[in-house]
Amino acid sequence: MNPIKSTLCIAALLIGAQAFSQEIEDKKGIVAKNAQLVKVQDGFEFTEGPAVNRFGDVYFTDQPNNRIHKWNAISNEVSVFKEDAGRSNGMYFMLDGTLVTCADNKNELWAFDTDGNPEVWITAFKGKKLNGPNDLWIRPKGGIYFTDPLYARPYWEGRGEESEQDGQNVYFLSADRTELFKVADDLVKPNGIVGTPDSKYLFVSDIGAKKTYKYEVREDGYLINKTLFCEMGSDGMAIDDRGNVYLTGDGVTVFNRNGEQIAHIPVPAKWTANVVFGALDRKTLFITAMDAVYTLQMKTRGVW
């Protein structure tokens, strides 16, 4: 469908949705003119892990209820994609339509085909349980980066609250899935993660230290030249075509490529967990926040 037609369809469907006219701080004109935050649907327990497929549809999790939902970018309807989803948290789509998820139920990495059939990709690191894969980014050149903080879950069975690993780390899984190795081991509690479309840089939020760092990405997957990007941590993260980085927690806070804050989008929720650009033109900011999901029309375009 034509991207302009797609955007008009979405706008028409949102007329009956609940809009919020809270003032948006926008120093660089990244939000569409007269755009308002719109609640798409509520009634969830805790939404997380939004991931966009090639058609612009956004899949997100309701982790306590162990479901993955799908937001249709054309109809604006939300449906259940998968029950018994491994308590999936962060998610990301591969180009072939495979949905890779951080399956928190047993601290694994899963992959779902387009019919929702799961396959377990990672169960441990060096024979020991991971803390709980939380968020991930798939490098366009191949390979998966994921964060592994420790958030003890009440549904874990057969293990306590202590980590089997030597810390809370960031890992890289090679494209052929034959190598899994640690790429960052000096963070307090790594959480949100996103990379640039040219595969040159990776941003990792250390939510425990309330900081976000920028790394250079080597061809072999290892990270070098860690630098402080901004003095703010984040749950989930996104990046747009201008190189702006979107951090979550208290609404959505946007930093330019130099780490300077340029926008803040208030959201009527105690916590915003994650964010992604959806719709066919990638100009719909899709936000997961506690028991609801929201959208906001943007001038900037997401990269995927």
- pLDDT tens by residue, 277-290: 999 999 999 999 99
- As a whole number of angstroms, the distance between CA 132 and CA 120 comes to 14
In this predicted model, what pLDDT tens digit does every residue of 124-151 receive, in sequence order? 999 999 999 999 999 999 999 999 999 9
Q: CA-to-CA distance for 112 and 70, rounded, in angstroms? A: 13
Q: What is the mean pLDDT of the chain?
A: 93
Is residue 170 within 8 A of residue 183, CB to CB? The reply is: yes
Percent of the chain, pLDDT > 70? 93
d(CA 94, CA 144): 10
Looking up tokens 């209820």 gives 65
Q: Give, in words, the CATH class of 3-297.
A: mainly beta
Domain boundaries, the chain: 3-297
What confidence category does residue 157 fall into, taking pLDDT thresholds of 50, 70 and 90?
A: confident
Best CA proximity match to 222, nearest among 261, 272, 170 = 170
Q: Which amino acid belongs to residue 213? A: Y
Residue 111, pLDDT > 80, answer yes
As to burial, measured by CB atoms within 10 angstroms (0-12 exposed, 13-18 middle, 19+ buried), residue 124 is middle
Closest C-alpha to 101, from 149, 137, 71, 47: 137
Q: What is the pLDDT of residue 295?
A: 98
Rounded distance between C-alpha atoms, residue 136 and residue 144, angstroms: 7
Q: Is the pLDDT of residue 17 over 80?
A: no
pLDDT of residue 152: 85
Q: Indicate if the pLDDT at residue 164 is higher than 80.
A: yes
| Block residue for tokens 């899963």 | 110
Residues counted in the chain: 304
- pLDDT tens digit sequence for 26-85: 999 999 999 999 999 999 999 999 999 999 999 999 999 999 999 999 999 999 999 999
pTM above 0.85, yes or no: yes
Q: What is the pLDDT of residues 240-297, one digit of tens each?
A: 999 999 999 999 999 999 999 999 999 999 999 999 999 999 999 999 999 999 999 9
